[in-house]
Amino acid sequence: MRLLCSTLALLMAPLTQAEPMAPLPSTSQGEGYAVLIVSRERLEVATTCEVALYLHDQMAARLHQGQSVSFNLPPGKVSLRLGLTGTGPCQDGINQLAGQSLELQAGEVRRYRIAMGSDGLRLHAAPTLN
């Protein structure tokens, strides 16, 4: 019985082979998009509260100390806002009403870190990694 199944499988193998797929058009990674990386270093913002990152007035991420997040975004103007989230002291903390705007170019990678300034939470350009 095993011999019969093996022989049958060998005879049917050419019938089950798929035609080769056409190659996909080659595109460079990230073409048409920009990468935005935002990190919250442990010592920059001295609070245990989560920091919320809003892109175009929509919450896009919540960052704890030591975390980072990255986004693939279309090129153009991006509106960003930061604020504290949570309950208790986090909710009554600094309200971030003013936002920041960035102009992103296709293929570029931008790194920012969250920092506390006299006017509240802000994004500051982070050193580039080479």
Which CATH number goes with the domain that contains 55? Answer: 2.60.40.1120
The rounded distance, in Å, linking the Cα atoms of 28 and 114 is 30
Asked, for residue 82, whether it belongs to a domain, the answer is: yes
- When divided into structural domains, the chain yields a total of 1
| pLDDT greater at residue 62 or residue 88 | 62
Note down the domain range covering 86: 31-125
Q: With H, G, I as helix, E, B as strand and everything else as coil, classify residue 13.
A: helix
Asked if residue 111 is part of any domain, the answer here is: yes
Identify the band that residue 3 occupies on the pLDDT scale cut at 50, 70 and 90.
low
In 10 A of CB 56, how many CB atoms?
12
Is residue 63 within 8 A of residue 69, CB to CB? The reply is: yes
Segment 71-80, tens digit of pLDDT: 999 999 999 9
Domain-located, residue 51 = yes
Q: CB within 8 A of 66, min separation 6: which ones?
A: 40, 41, 42
| pLDDT at position 84 | 83
**CA dihedral over 129, 42, 124, 90, signed as positive or negative:** positive
Q: Is there a domain that residue 7 lies in?
A: no
pLDDT, tens digit (0-9, with 9 covering 90-100), for 16-56: 444 444 444 444 554 689 999 999 987 777 778 888 999 99
